[in-house]
Amino acid sequence: MAFRGGTMLILTMMALLEIQICSSEINRGNFPNGFVFGTASSAFQYEGAVKEDGRGPSVWDTFSHTFGKIIDFSNADVAVDQYHRYEEDIQLMKDMGMDAYRFSISWSRIFPNGYGQINQAGVDHYNKLINALLAKGIEPYVTLYHWDLPQALENKYSGWLNASIIMDFATYAETCFQKFGDRVKHWITFNEPHTFATQGYDVGLQAPGRCSILLHLFCRAGNSATEPYIVAHNVLLSHATVADIYRKKYKKIQGGSLGVAFDVIWYEPLTNTKEDIDAAQRAQDFQLGWFLDPLMFGDYPSSMRTRVGSRLPKFSQSEAALVKGSLDFVGINHYTTFYAKDNSTNLIGTLLHDSIADSGAVTLPFNGTKAISERASSIWLYIVPQSMKSLMIYIKQKYGNPPVYITENGMDDPNSIFISIKDALKDEKRIRYHTGYLSYLLASIKDGCNVKGYFVWSLLDNWEWSAGYTSRFGLYFVDYKDNLKRYPKQSVEWFKNFLKPTK
């Protein structure tokens, strides 16, 4: 059940007290047998080597090389060079005691043009990565799509805006099942479809950078009123098509499972009024519900049907049957919490008709001028650990307690020339962050939530999309000025102690 905005301060104080009581004792032994701990990454943010071994360009290569799109004018051509340093990085995971590594495959390394001829060098690389992980006892959790669409498909038919992509994605996914599925037992078809649908096609702040001219003058093309919904619809049908292929042809032989990683901000009503309570639910409907409702129930939330109307695509009867029940597990990327306030009378939003205005909710991490909690470095990331439990209980109650993996959780520090490496390694705030969120995750498990694993974002500092290199999420500090050397932050030692086997 959602906490009410009027009691947030008291609940925050209680939360801090609860964390202090249990944090000194929390360790992996408190979690159920078989609970998985790992770190998470994505190909574009980690690999580099963008022009090596036959890899084709992606929409993020194009976007990051477009002037003014990345805050520090950087790109990910080198990133943190994991393409060449994966063995070193796997050893770092092993030394910490991690069980698993969540990484993504670059579609354009397997199919440089998005379809057609397979690039064997790309297949060879991921075979070496998977085998190196397994040799160290680390389980691969593989994301098939983490935003890096082959640019060739964007050029050919506008990528996710065209239903042709469903079969091209299915061919790519099935190729991965054939090449890697004998060893990969956990597949994530999509990372944060809500993020790339809205950021890429509504507000234009991420690749391919589309939005309505009315909304952002710097977007060359787009329609914020329709395109996010079209993209989301094609993503859902792509996932369901791939799930159907896997279950019919590979699941029995390979014994794997398949899910989606959803981005979820938790929303607290700004006040105790019915209007704000309803607004918080609508905000969640237009975020998690937009994608998880069809996968669980066969259709979009009723609030979306009502408010978006004919701009929201419809599933045919056969499509609804294909989509419904096509998840084996739910991945949750959860970092932060915002307030939600009713905004159903927003005239500008009514005129623009984008997906944000359609929700009829304003979501901000402020109550007037007061922040909801302590902030990390990113302007959107506020530390509210008790919401982890609220979110898990919400998923349990609304969606029938499906298996859940926390596929991302973490916080960032600033990358500043004024902070020495010695000081950057002192990341007590990150330790407090993970202590708090893990404590409330454990509390949700004790309340019956079916949570199976937890992945830290991220093993290394890395290239953070539009934020470039300005943000450091890593457990390991990466020295961008000295050959990308990795240095353990204090949180590494904390996780080593946390993950020590218990008797």
User: Rg of the chain over CA atoms, in angstroms?
Assistant: 22
Region of residue 381 (phi > 0: left; psi between -120 and 50: alpha; otherwise: beta): beta
Count the neighbouring beta carbons within 10 Å of the beta carbon of residue 482: 9
- Choosing from 47, 154, 227, 408, which is the catalytic residue? 408
Confirm if 121 and 147 have CB atoms less than 8 A apart.
no
- Choosing from 47, 139, 154, 192, which is the catalytic residue? 192
User: Any idea what the Cα angle at residue 324 is, between residues 318 and 327, rounded to 5°?
Assistant: 135
The reply to whether 192 belongs to the active site is: yes
What are the φ/ψ torsions at residue 298 (nearest 5 degrees)? Answer: 95, 0
Quote the DSSP letter at residue 475: S
> Would strands 471-472 and 413-414 be described as parallel, antiparallel, or unpaired?
antiparallel
> Would strands 361-364 and 370-371 be described as parallel, antiparallel, or unpaired?
unpaired
Peptide bond into 208 cis (omega under 30): yes
Our CA dihedral for 210, 315, 113, 139, rounded to 10 degrees, sits at 100
Quote the DSSP letter at residue 310: G
SS3 of residue 306 by DSSP: helix
The reply to whether 408 belongs to the active site is: yes
- Annotated active-site positions, please? 192, 408
